[in-house]
Structure 1
């Protein structure tokens, strides 16, 4: 199994990052020189800026069969030290001047100083060899290294290519970070495996998306919200074949606005670092606001109630989403106990996400079990449903809902809202008019902004 797949057309700008373009052949020869430099290392870290150097470094690791550890370029000293120490990386790959190793860090390999004429013949590592060690966000402790095999990556990309009718004739456009599954695995390895050109806009600016002339666009909800807020930019995407949203739920008003301005509803999909993408809307199928679609080929899903018994697939009953799939990770590096806890006794991965599945198999993600399932007065309330109700108010720009302690109810629904001119009482009444009374927020905090991570997800642990 060759991870990079078919070649496609070797265009002069088969891979373009900002103003810098490379043909596929140029990129692979550069990556081959990287591979020769790092051959035999137990693991290498890549200072993952949005640059051709990052892509060449990652591909060099894959060609050499050396596990790649992407490093967020904005990571602090403690986070970097943890990732480098835990992963066992013996080298850091980066462009000259992009990263200065701190005392005790592995030595730097200057990717931009390497020749770009490496030999293209490489022995293909086995499918079960580790391709990546990707670190989780660390919201529940120190970041854990997720072991993703070459076979898992290939299976995930092939399933998406089928679901999205993704071919070498597509041009992929995005500006997402290259240290996450979304931007790196889907957004870089996907085009290389399928053989389609890639345009990386460095940053996911709406005007850059509009000017790129692509057919397949990737973005997170924050990106699509900004696109939807600029009608001229959104209309420039009418010629695109698919607009794909992921990494967090897409608010229903943004879904509807994009459909109105671009002439097509966006594609939504669901995944996480440990699973890659497992559920998605299909290119040629129905697209429902607030839903992430159906399991990909080879994927099985189920819902578990709090007591472990099966939850009904009735479109209403929430449960923890559990997954079996060929694109699952191989465990957490150096964390056998955490790995064991992540799976049920019969081998299903516990995603920690709360979902609802309809009788027709359509999936809707309610949120994380730890932060988005609110237990109030005997009711189980999904934060996402309340957030979408708030976002339907014309004055609301952003909304995040959590459960906070309540002496009588156990937890109460509490909202943090960025709004122009609306009052707390107006917003509570607005939600009460569309949802059941027990789902309305009891408290609304009007704030100037919501805390977000690099992928645009709201960090709910920082609310309050």
Structure 2
């Protein structure tokens, strides 16, 4: 009966479209740019990767201690408090840590003839109890989890399947408990269309999994080591083809340990989780930190402002203490408050938000006006931080809200080292662009620590090029540090740093200034060629909605350019302004500016 917990269908074809075949990769070896870290693709065990001391949960900064892996930490927490609530789902179903391990044990038993150490296991990123149990079952068998975004097209899903060397893909059920036939069939079509050999299985509901066993025994599972591969997350692809960043159990635990320490997670916490489960923000920050701490995760499969506010106001349930989102989510939450919400519900919502102990904004820069409006409404400050798929979180504003600095992403997290490198090809002194605002920089931000990924899977060249000789990861982001030690991200070196008449100009700084204009709701700034200056700034603007008429504010290109000339230095002046109903963003609120060049500014190139 346990073997039937995963309903299966094999999808096979002969040819491969996205690179070498799986057999071609099975004996490959990879080395990171510092020459010290190597991995065997067949097992994805990583020799010597990130073997640096880091801060354990609750320890003081700089304290060295024994290292452990993420799966070990989660199992330990479950064994210590099996009756504590672990997850709640949108269908009202719940699971304790003990029942979560029982379900994972059932799933792991069903995978034992397919998954062993290093096997890449796809998982449809459908938030909920079955997602968590499937991930834990994968790790119990020594497999490497590869989340597949729900928003992926057939081609994108096939790319992830092929590039990762995926052997099997799991599809959790719909919120109503029925099999997710739509996602299953999409994966089946993708595999057939692109000639991939991937076994597909439906994951049964939590209730069916629990009816199959009362055991939480993983005694026959793989002996998973801290340096074994655990997770492949694909980059957002905003600056190129997505790459699969391989994290080990050690690096995931290091990321969680730093955040648990800095953000003061503990077992009493309860988080509303409305973030995608194929991204570092949703996987590590909001889910794994909670479960390693013994906290409760309440999944909302689809983010809706009404749903979040209703849960925060619900006094019949334990109070929510933590919320994490991208800037767009906070904008939508505030719009809901200003919309048709009844006065008593609005007051109760604001009161509930004021009691959250931690509200985090990330994955994209949060405009200062949004930070200020949230503080004005709720009396609380959003915590901004900085991270990437490859490194987890590296910088964070302090937990103490009085020490938050709007527009900055804070200081290095415990166990993380950062430094600046000169921008490649830069012929202008960094000081020329800083206007004496920064104590260091601008320059490319480099990061080092136990939190770093092991490699880009099956991409030895990209891995080697991404590290300097001292083992620091090259983020590709331009940053600067103020005199008080706080860091500011100025943008991606490839798309956000403009060279205007010999000056380096941050597109993000221009965007932040434009958003101070109350007539502008959203904006994206990018560089376009200019014969006289090399580059000039261009802006895609979304007008704000007039609260009296309910219609967009009447704005012209001249209105925007005049305002910019009166409020910014000449190097920030705009050459072109275009208008749109919205700025295109991906699931994490990020803007692909290379796509904007093609869709909105093709006539400028």
Residues 1:92 and 2:225 are matched in the alignment: no
Instruction: Give the SS at the match of 1:334.
Output: coil
Tell me which residue corresponds to 2:89: 17
Map Cα deviations across residues 231-267 of structure 1 (whole Å, 9 max, x no partner): 3345531111111001000011100001111111100
> Which TM-score applies when normalising by structure 2?
0.73
Residues 86, 100 of structure 2: 8 Å contact kept: no
Q: Assess, with a 3 A threshold, how the Cα gap between structure 1 residues 126 and 308 changes in structure 2: closer, same or farther.
A: farther
Q: 2:284 and 2:384 mapped to 1: Cα distance?
A: 17
Tell me which residue corresponds to 1:226: 332
Tell me which residue corresponds to 1:246: 362
Query: Aligned pair count?
Result: 464
2:585 aligned residue (429, 435, 452) = 452
Structure 1 position 13, deviation (Å):
4.7
Q: Which blocks of at least 5 consecutive residues in structure 1 are unaligned?
A: none
Structure 1 position 430, deviation (Å):
2.4
Structure 1 position 105, deviation (Å):
4.5
Q: Assess, with a 3 A threshold, how the Cα gap between structure 1 residues 35 and 308 changes in structure 2: closer, same or farther.
A: farther
Residues 323, 358 of structure 2: 8 Å contact kept: yes
Residues 17, 52 of structure 1: 8 Å contact kept: yes
1:412 aligned residue (536, 540, 548) = 536
Residues 1:37 and 2:120 are matched in the alignment: no
Map Cα deviations across residues 414-450 of structure 1 (whole Å, 9 max, x no partner): 1111012222222223233332121122221111111
Residues 1:371 and 2:495 are matched in the alignment: yes
Deviates more, 1:57-66 or 1:425-434: 425-434
Structure 1 position 317, deviation (Å):
3.4
Q: 2:158 and 2:563 mapped to 1: Cα distance?
A: 48
Q: 2:385 and 2:322 mapped to 1: Cα distance?
A: 14
Tell me which residue corresponds to 1:131: 230
Q: 1:378 and 1:287 mapped to 2: Cα distance?
A: 33
Q: Assess, with a 3 A threshold, how the Cα gap between structure 1 residues 316 and 300 changes in structure 2: closer, same or farther.
A: closer
| Rg larger in structure | 2
Tell me which residue corresponds to 2:73: 3
2:297 aligned residue (184, 187, 198) = 198
Tell me which residue corresponds to 1:236: 352
Q: 1:452 and 1:337 mapped to 2: Cα distance?
A: 29
Q: 1:432 and 1:316 mapped to 2: Cα distance?
A: 28
Tell me which residue corresponds to 1:111: 203
Deviates more, 1:324-333 or 1:222-231: 222-231
Map Cα deviations across residues 158-205 of structure 1 (whole Å, 9 max, x no partner): 100111111111111120111111112222211111111111122222
Residues 265, 289 of structure 2: 8 Å contact kept: no
Residues 235, 262 of structure 1: 8 Å contact kept: yes
Structure 1 position 343, deviation (Å):
0.8
Q: Assess, with a 3 A threshold, how the Cα gap between structure 1 residues 244 and 301 changes in structure 2: closer, same or farther.
A: same
Give the alignment of 1:373-412 within 5 angstroms.
Answer: 373-412=497-536
Q: 1:394 and 1:161 mapped to 2: Cα distance?
A: 37
Tell me which residue corresponds to 2:559: 426
1:282 aligned residue (392, 398, 401) = 398
Instruction: Give the SS at the match of 1:73.
Output: coil
Residues 541, 578 of structure 2: 8 Å contact kept: yes
Residues 386, 431 of structure 1: 8 Å contact kept: no
Tell me which residue corresponds to 2:378: 262
Tell me which residue corresponds to 2:155: 78
Residues 478, 492 of structure 2: 8 Å contact kept: yes
Q: 1:373 and 1:216 mapped to 2: Cα distance?
A: 34
> Which structure is richer in relative contact order (CA contacts within 8 A, separation 6 or more)?
2
Give the alignment of 1:338-349 within 5 angstroms.
Answer: 338-349=462-473
Q: How much is the aligned-residue C-alpha RMSD, in angstroms?
A: 2.1
